[in-house]
Amino acid sequence: MNEHDKIAATQYNNKERVLGQLLPEYRDKVFRLAWSIVRNREAAEEVTQDVFVKIWQTIDAFNHHCSMATWVYSITRNTAISAYRSQRWSRLNVHSGLDEILNTSADDAESVNDYSISSKSLHNALRQLPAKQQQVVILFYLQECSHAEVSAMLAIPIGTIKTLLHRARHTLLSHLTHPQIR
């Protein structure tokens, strides 16, 4: 079922058909985004279930001006953040895929290569970012969302998304290349 068919199905109250297509297509993506926020397998599984219940309950209210993926990711993000806050999950660990964040320019790459950066250092540096910068980094680099998709999910202008990414990269680079300066 393509994007147009999904939208058409929501217009005709065919919840079963839409959910039957969304579940296999988005289950793993929803879980990964939830896990990147709550950083706990059981909590991420619970968030994933909650997301699909919310989709079932609100499919009739789907805003046809955005993509289905943006809508699903927004529900996931909001549900995961609520779970994170209510359970007080305090650890945020990010897998090694964040290495690409630091390779933003030739000068930055050279200064990073002068240091031995451990995954733990990268995790610690990411944890020190402000919440909005963490969210943008996770969505853009880990979930591989475009600037426009991140903008829609967080309800923040694209220019602000780019600024947050730039500041996050700069801060991460600073923390990793000069750990004693904080």
Task: Decide whether 3-87 matches 96-177 in CATH topology.
Answer: no
Q: What is the largest CA-CA distance in the chain?
A: 60
Q: Which residue has the higher pLDDT, 177 or 114?
A: 177
In CATH, what is the architecture of 3-87?
A: Orthogonal Bundle (1.10)
Best CA proximity match to 39, nearest among 77, 73, 90, 74: 90
At 105 the pLDDT is 43
Distance CA 54, CA 72 (A): 10
Q: Give me the numbers of helices (H) and strands (E) for the chain, helices first please.
A: 9, 0
Q: How confident is the model over 14-73, as pLDDT tens digits?
A: 777 878 888 999 999 999 999 888 878 888 999 999 999 999 888 878 877 788 888 999
Q: How confident is the model over 150-179, as pLDDT tens digits?
A: 888 888 999 999 999 999 988 888 877 776
Q: Is 179 strand, coil or helix? A: coil
Give helix 158-177 / helix 106-113 axis angle, nearest 10°. 30
At 29 the pLDDT is 92
Q: How confident is the model over 126-138, as pLDDT tens digits?
A: 888 888 898 888 7
Domain ranges for the chain: 3-87, 96-177
pLDDT above 60 for 102: no
Contact 161, 100 (CB under 8 A): no
Between the alpha carbon of residue 126 and those of residues 11, 120, 167, 179, the distances in Å are 41, 10, 12, 13
pLDDT band at 90 (very low <50, low <70, confident <90, very high): very low
Q: Which residue has the higher pLDDT, 55 or 84?
A: 55
Assign a CATH topology to domain 96-177. Answer: Arc Repressor Mutant, subunit A (1.10.10)
Best CA proximity match to 58, nearest among 15, 1, 8: 15
